Amino acid sequence: MKELVFVGLGLHDERGISLQGLEETKTADHAFIELYTSILPHFSTKRFESLVNKQVHVVSRRDLEEENGAIILNAAEKAKTVFLIPGDPFIATTHVSLRIEAEKRGIKTRIVHGASVISAIIGLSGLHNYKFGKTVTIPFPENSSETPYNVIAQNKKRGLHTLCLLDLKVDEKRFLSINEALTLLLKIEQKRKEEIVTLSTVAVGVARVGSNAPNLKADFIQELLKHDFGDPPQSLIFPGALHFMETEALVAFAGAPENLRRLAK
């Protein structure tokens, strides 16, 4: 059967895959995996192969972007093929072009969803999902951009929260930390002077969501800069208008200072 199944791996290790995803992989003729778009801190390809009793071929950014996923598509034209992707296949990253090309070739495609970093971060924070505006990625300093600052400003004007994903290059073992991201935004603030991201701004830092020991801390930026969030992956949330239940959640779950309650509306 000509078929390509996109399977989400979840957020932390090889146990994050769903039972359906596991079954799809076990029954596939070919299995491919990419591990460059996100960090799965404790994922082991060797352990995963033992779990599915199958060899899994690791594909690179070059295979997917420069070669247009030919190695995966060619396999799927002959037999059932599974493509394993960190998180939820089409949320934090996108392989839409690969799916479109598969359909053009007459290859049936399906999606087995996994845990999404976006919903997991929001859920962990205790903030209300419907109050989040546009999500943005804060890039490394060499690709510095004022776009994150602009998105935070736009969302705040509408009373909405902003989820900031932090840049990473898995193949180079580089990740932007919360401290570095805040420092970059404060530099833009010094230039713009719009009081969007200042030392007295409240922010929420999140690290290793999906693990058994995530690190969640809410505080004013001047205090957040002193907090050690440890290993990646890390993300940031800039709250907009806070409901009183949201402030209670940040105090209870994220160690926010008690005086944060005064910001509730």
For domain 3-112, the CATH architecture is 3-Layer(aba) Sandwich (3.40)
Contact by Cβ (8 Å): 125, 216: yes
Q: What is the pTM (predicted TM-score) of this model?
A: 0.90
- pLDDT in 10s for each residue of the chain, 265 residues: 799 999 999 999 999 999 999 999 999 999 999 998 888 989 999 999 999 999 999 998 888 888 889 999 999 999 999 999 999 998 856 789 999 999 999 999 999 999 998 999 999 999 999 999 999 999 999 988 999 999 999 999 999 999 999 999 888 889 999 999 999 999 999 999 999 999 999 999 999 999 999 999 999 999 999 999 999 999 999 999 999 999 999 999 999 999 888 888 7
Q: What is the pLDDT of residue 23?
A: 96
Pinpoint the residues of the chain covered by CATH 3.30.950.10.
Answer: 117-263
Q: Does domain 117-263 have CATH number 2.30.30.110?
A: no
Residue found by looking up tokens 């010094």 in the block: 190
